[in-house]
Amino acid sequence: MGGLYSEYLSPSKVREHYNYTKETLDTQETPSRQVAVALIVLLCFAIVVENLLVLIAVARNSKFHSAMYLFLGNLAASDLLAGVAFVANTLLSGPVTLGLTPVQWFAREGSAFITLSASVFSLLAIAIERHVAIAKVKLYGSDKSCRMLLLIAASWLISLALGGLPILGWNCLGHLEACSTVLPLYTKHYVLCVVTIFSVILLAIVALYVRIYCVVRSSHADVAGPQTLALLKTVTIVLGVFIVCWLPAFSILLLDYACPVRSCPVLYKAHYFFAFATLNSLLNPVIYTWRSRDLRREVLRPLQCCRRAAGLQGRRGGTPGHRLLPLRSSSSLERGAHMPTSPTFLEGNTMV
């Protein structure tokens, strides 16, 4: 065991594993790679800024300190960290990879796995809570905060355990024949385990949302109103985006398990599939919070301040300023939030 862990600091191990699994190695920067890195960094910057605005909005407004907004904040935090981790992963890839020690490589890949896993588990936790709220006809109240915190803690603990398994010993150091092509220091069985877990999560989310749909469709006429239809629309968007973003990554990892070494060239392009999966972290705040009028207003407050400052500057320069009106929403989701006929879907003054 001591010999295994002594290899973690070997500067030649990463190159050895890449030489075994890859047909060619990235030994120099190319213009196309530089463009791809720039685009990915811009994407991750957008992810960080978007989710940071959501976190600030939730933290500074007491209206959002309810149970469900804990999940929205946790989702935004995990997506923000996913953006940061993916930037680090991108900047430490290519020619830089071959200069890493195994422990540095495990830290690079593990951080990305942990944050992306936490984002996915947050989606699952939200689906569970939506199912409980609708199928069990319960409100989200302050007495449910303990359950929310436990689910949030569990999602991070599971994510840490899942991402940390390789550095704890479930890797292919010393066993090249067992190595993954996409992740050359990870064993193929670990890759299959990850694919299985995320596939089960996907099926669970589908089952929960199908159950929600069935409950809503079977509700009385006074319940199946505009707010119900708006919720179904949100659920459809969430489920569709999740499948579109993650299915290619699941497929490439499953193919990695099935393919012998150097027999599937498409595996050498796996980073594009993971970059596409990261779009889920960009879209989650849009799906879960942008349809809430109050949260949208809070997120846009910094932009309002900028417009107000520009208006004051215009007055000083002789240009009439424009009075900034409060944001109004005409979405059926927000109109339904104030309908008293179905308290199941209400939370604070907004609807999620």
Q: Does domain 9-306 have CATH number 1.20.1070.10?
A: yes
Q: How far is residue 49 CA from its own chain's centroid?
A: 14
Question: What is the per-residue pLDDT across 89-140, written as a single tens digit (0 to 9) for each?
Answer: 999 988 889 889 999 999 999 998 898 788 888 878 878 877 777 766 444 4
Owner of token pair 């007055």 = 315
pLDDT of residue 302: 72
**Residue 71 confidence (pLDDT) above 60:** yes
Angstrom distances, CA of residue 153 to CA of 86, 109, 122, 162, 350:
22, 22, 10, 14, 25
Question: What is the per-residue pLDDT across 300-316, written as a single tens digit (0 to 9) for each?
Answer: 887 666 666 666 665 66
What is the rounded average pLDDT of the residues 174-190?
92
Question: What is the per-residue pLDDT across 78-88, written as a single tens digit (0 to 9) for each?
Answer: 999 999 999 99
Distance CA 141, CA 159 (A): 27
Q: What is the pTM of this model?
A: 0.79
Question: What is the per-residue pLDDT across 36-45, written as a single tens digit (0 to 9) for each?
Answer: 889 999 999 9
Distance CA 337, CA 345 (A): 7
**Residue 188 confidence (pLDDT) above 90:** yes
Question: What is the per-residue pLDDT across 220-234, written as a single tens digit (0 to 9) for each?
Answer: 544 555 665 665 676
Window from 47-61, 89-103, 181-195, 320-334 with minimum mean pLDDT: 320-334
**Residue 345 confidence (pLDDT) above 50:** no
At 253, the pLDDT band (50, 70, 90 cuts) reads very high
- The Cβ of residue 18 has, within 10 Å, a number of other Cβ atoms equal to 18
Question: What is the per-residue pLDDT across 139-174, written as a single tens digit (0 to 9) for each?
Answer: 444 456 677 788 888 889 999 999 999 999 899 998
What residue ranges do the domains of the chain occupy? 9-306
Higher pLDDT: 218 or 273? It is 273
Question: What is the per-residue pLDDT across 199-210, written as a single tens digit (0 to 9) for each?
Answer: 898 888 888 888
